[in-house]
Amino acid sequence: MYKPVDNRNAISIDEARKVIVENIGSVKLGSEKIPSIESNHRIIAQDVVAPNDYPTFRRSGYDGFAMLQEDLTKLPRTLKVVGDIPAGADFDRPLVSGEAVRIMTGGYVPDGADIVVMLETTRMIDKDTVEISETQHKDNITPIGDYFKKGDILLKKDTEINPGGISLLSAFDIQDISVYKKPTIGIITTGSELLHPGEQIVNGKIFNSNGPMIRNLCKENGADVISYTQIKDDPNKLKTAVNDLLDKCDVIITDGGVSVGDFDIIADLAKSSEKLLFNKLEMRPGSVTTAFIYDNTLFFGLSGNPGACFTGFYLFVEYALRLMQHQTSNCIECIATLNAEYTKTNMYDRILRGQYKFVGNHIEIGRVGGDASGNLNNLQRATCMFEIPRGKSITPKDSELRTWLLPFK
Stretch that binds a copy of itself, among 34-42, 125-133, 237-245, 279-287 (CB under 8 A): 34-42
Residues present in the chain in total: 409
Q: Which is nearer to a copy of itself, 30 or 261 (CB)?
A: 261
Determine which residue in the list 183, 211, 285, 301 makes contact with a copy of itself, applying CB under 8 A: 211
Q: Which of 96, 260, 347, 394 binds a copy of itself (CB under 8 A)?
A: 260
Beta bridge partners of 148: 54
Sequence-separated (6 or more) residues with CB below 8 Å from residue 69: 114, 115, 136, 139
Interface characters, 318-337, with a copy of itself (x: CB under 8 A): --------------xxxxxx
Which of these segments, 130-138, 189-197, 321-329, 389-397, binds a copy of itself (CB under 8 A)?
189-197
Number of residues that bind a copy of itself (CB under 8 A): 109
Region near a copy of itself per CB under 8 A, out of 71-79, 98-106, 269-277, 287-295: 98-106
Q: Does 125 bind a copy of itself (CB under 8 A)?
A: no
Between vectors from CA 264 to CA 226 and to CA 24, what angle results, nearest 5°? 50
Residues 295-314 that bind a copy of itself (CB under 8 A): 304-306, 310
Q: Which of 4, 70, 204, 236 binds a copy of itself (CB under 8 A)?
A: 204
Q: How far is CA 271 from CA 268, 276, 291, 292, 318, in A?
A: 5, 7, 11, 9, 24
Residues within window 51-70 making contact with a copy of itself, judged by CB under 8 A: 52, 54-57, 59, 61, 63
Cβ within 8 Å of residue 372, ≥6 positions away:
307
- Residue nearer to a copy of itself on the CB measure, 296 or 328: 328
Binding pattern to a copy of itself, positions 148-187, x when CB under 8 A? Answer: x------x---x-xxxxxxxxxxxxx-x------------
**Distance between CA 346 and CA 92 in Å, rounded?**
80
362 binds a copy of itself (CB under 8 A): yes
Q: How far apart are CA 33 and CA 18, in angstroms?
A: 32
Q: Tell me: does residue 90 bind a copy of itself (CB under 8 A).
A: yes
234 burial level (CB within 10 Å; 0-12, 13-18, 19+): middle
Single out the residue of 373, 372, 369, 397 nearest to residue 383, CA to CA: 369
**Binding residue (CB under 8 A) for a copy of itself from 37, 75, 153, 347:** 37
3-state secondary structure 283-349: EECCCCCEEEEECCEEEEEECCCHHHHHHHHHHHHHHHHHHHCCCCCCCEEEEEEECCCECCCECCE
Residue among 21, 75, 87, 347 that touches a copy of itself (CB under 8 A): 87
Residue 140 beta carbon to a copy of itself: minimum distance, rounded to whole angstroms: 11
Q: How far is the CB of 105 from a copy of itself (least distance, A)?
A: 6
CA–CA dist 298, 292 (Å, integer): 6
Q: Give the number of other CB atoms < 10 A from CB of residue 287.
A: 20
105 part of the interface to a copy of itself, by CB under 8 A: yes
Q: Which one of residues 19, 29, 82, 119 is an interface residue with a copy of itself (CB under 8 A)?
A: 119
**Binding range to a copy of itself, per CB under 8 A, among 6-14, 209-217, 237-245, 341-349:** 209-217
Count Cα neighbours of 151 within 13 Å in the Cβ-side half-sphere. 0
Query: Which residue, 125 or 274, has its beta carbon nearer to a copy of itself?
Result: 125
In the complex, what is the shortest distance from the CB of residue 136 to a copy of itself, in angstroms, rounded to a whole number? 18
Interface with a copy of itself includes 4 (CB under 8 A)? no
The 3-class SS string of 195-225 reads ECCCCCCCCCCEECCHHHHHHHHHHHCCCEE
**Cβ–Cβ contacts within 10 Å for residue 133, how many?**
11
| Distance, CA of 232 to CA of 195 (rounded, Å) | 10
